[in-house]
Amino acid sequence: MEHRHRRRSGLRRAGSTAVAAAGAMILVVGLSQLGTASPGTGTAQGTTAAAARPMENLGRGVVAVRSGESDVLVSWRLLGLDPENIGFNVYRATGDGDWSQINDDVLTDGTNFVDSGADLSQSNSYRVTPVVDGEEGEPSGAFTLDGDAADEPVVRVPLRDGGRIQFVWVGDLTGDGEYDYVIDRQTSPQSIEAYSSEGDFLWEADMGPNSTDQNNIEGGSARAGPPAGGRTAP
């Protein structure tokens, strides 16, 4: 069994777009180079200073995507207050099977791992556990890669049918430590919709009359300048 480990490099970034697939709207969240957030210093002074900063209460954010004929790229998040000497173990469960560790040694050089031993015709779930000073911590939340998934570096999130989408924002809207999605609908008036990290619809908000003439081409409540037929001041 071959496993390859990639070094951490920079922060995780996600680029997003929306496409129509099989008659349904799909949010495609692209994954670029996957890496880390800045760890704590490991000293009491450094830890205290970091704890005073406003920080999101995030989980590990495990994601798995197919990466070739037989590989799965698994990535996760390094948290801001993780100690310098933290390592990780990666676990896989195929179908309804039990969890089994798939790395031979504790991973200390990165926050991603290539699994080359999975049966990709079945669904595979992944989770990680932190290891500090030889002690294994609590497992993260799991991410499930569907069987026969497409070979692509993206996560697809199902959306409701609607108008064109231009922007996507992320944030933890449900308090579960995972990033959810807010999208804009380029309708008139404009609206925004929220979806959970698993693609469940959460809520919708109408942006009101000021979003009707968003390009300021025709007269409307967002129109700049004097009213139609009016005069400007000398």
Ranges of H-type helices in the chain: 44-51
Listed residue (226, 201, 216) closest to 25, CA to CA: 201
* 108-128 pLDDT tens trace: 999 999 999 999 999 999 999
Strand order in the sheet with 24-31: 14-21, 24-31, 154-159
Q: pTM to 2 decimals?
A: 0.71
- Residue 1 identity: M
- Residue 47 identity: T
* 44-98 pLDDT tens trace: 444 455 556 788 889 999 999 999 999 999 999 999 899 999 999 999 999 999 9
